[in-house]
Amino acid sequence: MSKPTIDLLPTSALINEDRSPLIIAGPCSAESEEQVMETARLIKEVPGVTVYRAGIWKPRTRPNSFEGIGVPGLKWLKRVKQETGLKVACEVANTAQVFEALKAGIDILWIGARTTVNPFTVQEIADALRGVDIPVLVKNPVNPDLQLWLGAIERLNQAGLKQLGGIHRGFSTFDNAPYRNMPKWNSAIEFKRLVPELPLICDPSHIAGNRELLQPIAQRAMDLAMEGLMIETHVNPAVALSDASQQVTPADLKKLLASLRFSKVDP
Ligand code: PEP
Ligand code: MN
């Protein structure tokens, strides 16, 4: 596979200055102002976490489930930023969402796995972001197609985005057991070989689908020298409106992070 040329800024909000892993945590979905703020206040106390995530628009697999709070949730993320100093991140899946997120001052955007599969939508998002210097993380597509993943990153880069990174969230196949999405670690290894300049963050939550499986997945990602982790964290996972079984409490996030051996990556 040919190596893509990606033109990046020498420093990026997606890479910690001391090269420690970038830790992103927060609920799958923003559900209420109280849930967003309480989760954020507790996450703020977890060593290592610098970015708060929350899905505002949710791409649900089946209809009639919670599809996200929408625009009102952006104000809550703004409040998280002001009151905790954490950077805030959300998924964008179309140009209208891009404009709303930019207007609200969201610090980091990510492209979800169901969007990365569609070059038309990725191109529209890239065009909407032309001339905007905002970090964007691109999740792998739902299917294990490295070219499609890299192609989405190239589209953003060619629109002038220079703070970019990948998120490895596993791949959907008919029989994923024991995972929700198969990690296919070789894809992460190949991604790092082809574009070593791009930070690669692991999302053990969507690989696992179950909080009991998170630890070994996160450790494996660190052993592969991946540059960070995105871990879904909810003040009360049992009542979460999406992905309840894979979310952890902030206290369990703290324990999980403390249990990891981080491989030292030379700057
Ligand atoms: C999410 O991060 O909540 C999400 C919807 O993830 P993915 O796009 O990886 O399914
Ligand atoms: Mn989720």
Interface ipTM = 0.99
Cis previous bond, 196, omega within 30:
no
State the architecture of 22-57+67-257 in CATH terms: Alpha-Beta Barrel (3.20)
> End-to-end alpha-carbon separation of the chain, Å?
27
Mean per-residue pLDDT for 146-175?
97
- Closest Cα to atom 2 of ligand 1: 28
Report the atom number in ligand 1 closest to the C-alpha of 55: 3
Show me where the domains of the chain are located.
22-57+67-257
Distance CA 43, CA 248 (A): 11
Distance 266 CA to ligand 1 centre (A): 30
The answer, yes or no, to whether any atom of ligand 1 lies below 6 A from the CB of 55, is yes
Tokens 């999740």 belong to 139
Residue 264: the pLDDT is: 58
168 CB under 6 A from ligand 1? no
- Regarding the beta carbon of 28 and ligand 1, being less than 6 Å apart is answered yes
More confident residue, 4 or 25: 25
The CA 4 to ligand 2 mean position distance, Å, reads: 29
**pLDDT tens digits, one per residue of 172-224:** 999 999 999 999 999 999 999 999 999 999 999 999 999 999 999 999 999 99
CA pair distance 205, 214, nearest whole angstrom: 6
Q: What was the pLDDT predicted at 234? A: 98
Tell me the pTM: 0.97
Q: How far is the CA of 216 from the CAs of 107, 127, 169, in angstroms?
A: 29, 38, 14
3: pLDDT confidence band, cut at 50, 70 and 90?
Answer: confident
* Helix, strand or coil, per DSSP, at residue 129: coil
Band (pLDDT 50/70/90 cuts) for residue 2 is: confident
